[in-house]
Amino acid sequence: MPRRPARAAGRGRAPRGRLTDPGLLRGAFRIAVLIFGLAAILVIAEPPGSAEFVVSLLSLFVGLAFVAVVAVLARHGQRRPPDDKRPGKTDSSAESQGGMDD
């Protein structure tokens, strides 16, 4: 039975500590904006009450939901700085030295 060759390190996976690959999120966001934008144009162009208007309105909502999901995934997958690098934290090394210049 043939075996699959070993994968290259890190290939096909998200960087360590991230939920998804940033390039994948960028591509998904572009597709979502395309769907949303084209549906918005069609909603304006179609006569209200027609079947085409309803389909365009549904695709507008699907595009909006897709944009929202991609935005949440991108926000949730961001790396956070270590605790000592977060704003509002004091530098403990400056406090231990007393902050005096010789």
Q: What percent of the chain has pLDDT over 90?
A: 39
The separation between CA 71 and the C-alpha centre of its own chain, rounded to angstroms, equals: 5
- pLDDT at 47 (0 to 100): 92
CB 10 within 8 A of CB 24: no
| pLDDT in the model for residue 50 | 93
The whole-number pLDDT of residue 81 equals 61
pLDDT at 24 exceeding the cut of 80: yes
DSSP string, 13-49: SPPTT-SS-HHHHHHHHHHHHHHHHHHHHHHHHSPTT
The per-residue pLDDT for 76 is 79
- Per-position b or e across 25-48, b if 16+ CB within 10 A of its CB: beebbeebeebbeebbebbeebee
